[in-house]
Amino acid sequence: MNINLTLIVQMLVFALLIFGTMKWIWPHILSAMEERARKIAQGLAAAEQGEQELAAARGKAETIVREARERANQIIDHAQHRANDLVEQARSTAGTEGGRLIAAAQQQIQLDATRARETLRREVAGIAVAAAARLLGREIDAKKHAELLDKLAAEV
């Protein structure tokens, strides 16, 4: 075991190797690693941002749906009110119309009854005259007794 020229040669080789590693290996590998770390960090940040955006969009969508639902309910309520109103209105119109019709019909009935009574009275007067003529055995001069007959007919 002795110290010899190998020492010097080894030192030269070592120095060269250090230089080579420093110049051609270390920076390249480290920069690649750092670049990758940066990329991953970016990717993670982007993913997080995307997640946040998704949550925000989800919230917004929920709000919109809720608002739409409320609006729909409002519209339905409104429509129901309107329908009720219409029905009420129709009912009242129908009631008035019916009353009017009933009144007209009653008037007509009264008119008819009066007319019928008049006819009946005349017929009764005729019958009464005929009966009286038969009882008296002679013709009653209708012209003479017209006043009396009319008075009678009015009493019937």
Binding status of residue 137 toward another protein by CB under 8 A = no
Q: How far apart are CA 54 and CA 65, in angstroms?
A: 16
Q: Give me the residue label for tokens 């020492």.
A: 7
Binding status of residue 14 toward another protein by CB under 8 A = yes
Binds another protein (CB under 8 A): choice among 17, 76, 86, 124: 17
User: Could you give the count of Cα atoms lying within 13 Å of 31 in the half-sphere of its Cβ?
Assistant: 7
Minimum gap (Å) between residue 61 Cβ and another protein: 36
Minimum gap (Å) between residue 41 Cβ and another protein: 12
Minimum gap (Å) between residue 34 Cβ and another protein: 9
Identify which of 126, 112, 111, 113 has the alpha carbon closest to the alpha carbon of residue 156: 126
Q: Give me the residue label for tokens 């003529």.
A: 133
Nearer residue to another protein within complex by CB, 1 or 135: 1
Q: How far apart are CA 128 and CA 132, in angstroms?
A: 6
Q: Do 151 and 127 contact (CB within 8 A), yes or no?
A: no
Minimum gap (Å) between residue 46 Cβ and another protein: 16
Binding status of residue 21 toward another protein by CB under 8 A = yes
Q: Residue 95 to residues 8, 82, 83, 87: CA-CA distances in angstroms?
A: 127, 20, 18, 12
Binding status of residue 156 toward another protein by CB under 8 A = no
Instruction: Give the x-and-dash track for 22-61 against another protein (CB under 8 A).
Output: x-xxx-xxxxxx-xx--x----------------------
Residues engaged in binding another protein (CB under 8 A): 1-11, 13-15, 17-18, 20-22, 24-26, 28-33, 35-36, 39
